[in-house]
Amino acid sequence: MSVAADLTELHRLHSALKEIREDLSRGPRQLKIRDQVITNAKNEVTSKQEELKQTRLAADRKGLELKTLEAKLVDLRGKLNQAASNREYDILRGQIEADGAAKAVMEDEILDYLDRIDRLQKEIVIAHERVGQAEADKKSYSAQFAAEEPVLKQKEADLVGRMATAEKVLTGETLSQYRRVVDAHGAEAMAPVENGVCTGCYVALRPQQRVQLNNGVLLFCSSCGRLLYLSE
C-alpha cells in the first residue's frame, strides 16, 4: 500500500478505537446517571412522607383546637341559658357568635388538611412507582451493558493490535512525534489533506510541503501538529 493508504487506515483505526472506548465508558456513566435517578426518586418519597407526617400532625393539632373550642361553645351555651341579665346574655351571645365563626374557619382548615393528606398519599404511591421504574431501568441497562462489554473489549483489543501493526509505517523521530501528538489529540492526531489544506486546522500547506506529501514524505502540520496524509 502507499503511504497515504497506510496512514488513512491508521487514522480509521484511531477513529474506530475512539468510538469503541466511548461505548465502553458510556456504560458506567449511564449506570451512574441511573443511580442518581433512583436516589432522586427515593428522596422524593422521603420528602413526601415527611410532608404527610407534618400535615397529619398539623391536622391533629387543629382537631384538638376544634374540640377545645367546641367544649367552650357548649360551656358558653350553658351559661347563656343561665344568664342573669340582658348584658350578660348579650356578652355571652357575642362570644358564641365569634367562637362559632372561628369554629367554621377551623373546620375548613381541617378539610384542607384532609384533602392535602389524601393528595400526598396518592403522590407517595406514584413516587414509589417511580422508584420501582428507575430501579427496573437500571437493572435492564446493567444487564444490557454486561452483555455488550465483553464484545466491546474484544473489539478494543483487536483494534489495538491492528493499530500496532499499522503504526509500523512510522519509525524513529516520526514515531516519537506521532506518539506525542496522539497523547495530545487522541483520535484527532491525524488529518487528511484536501486541496492542499490540513483538515485538522484548515491551514494551507506550503508548496514544498505539498510536494513532499505527494512524494510519500511523512509530515506533521506546521500549524496544529497533526500527522498529515493525502485524502484518497
Residues 47 and 151 in one domain: yes
Q: In the structure, what pLDDT confidence band is assigned to residue 81 with cuts at 50, 70 and 90?
A: confident
Q: Do 108 and 175 belong together in one domain?
A: no
Q: How far is CA 214 from CA 56, 71, 87, 117, 193, in A?
A: 83, 104, 118, 79, 11
**What digits encode the pLDDT tens for the residues 40-53?**
999 999 999 999 99
Instruction: Note whether 52 and 144 are same-domain residues.
Output: yes
| Model confidence band, residue 63 (pLDDT cutoffs 50, 70, 90) | very high
Q: In the listed set 131, 166, 201, which residue is the last one of a domain according to the structure?
A: 166
Those residues with Cβ within 8 angstroms of residue 90's Cβ, 6 or more apart along the chain or in another chain: none
Residue 189 burial (CB count, 10 A): 22
pTM of the model: 0.77
**Single-letter amino acid, residue 44:** E
- Under the banding of pLDDT at 50, 70 and 90, the label for residue 2 is confident
Angle between helices 86-166 and 3-81 in degrees, nearest 10 = 170
50 and 71 in a single domain? The answer is yes
Instruction: Please give the average per-residue pLDDT across 25-31, as a whole number.
Output: 97
Q: What is the pLDDT of residue 127?
A: 98
Q: What is the pLDDT of residue 176?
A: 96
Domain enclosing residue 198, as ranges: 170-232
| Kind and range of the H or E run holding 116 | helix 86-166
Considering the domain architecture, whether residues 183 and 224 belong to the same structural domain is answered as yes
Same-domain status, 174 and 155: no
How many domains does the chain contain in total? 2
DSSP per residue over 129-161, as a string? HHHHHHHHHHHHHHHHHHHHHHHHHHHHHHHHH
Question: How far apart (Å, rounded) are the C-alpha atoms in residues 130 and 190?
Answer: 47
Question: In the numeric block, which cell numbers belong to residue 227?
Answer: 500527522
**105 and 195 share a domain?**
no
Same domain for 20 and 92? Answer: yes
Q: Say if residue 58 is in the same domain as residue 100.
A: yes
pLDDT (tens digit per residue) in 99-135 = 999 999 999 999 999 999 999 999 999 999 999 999 9
Which domain CATH number covers 156?
Answer: 1.10.287.1490
Model pLDDT, residue 1:
58
- Average pLDDT on 187-209 reads 95
Whether residues 78 and 154 share a domain: the answer is yes
The CA distance from 111 to 63, in Å, is 10
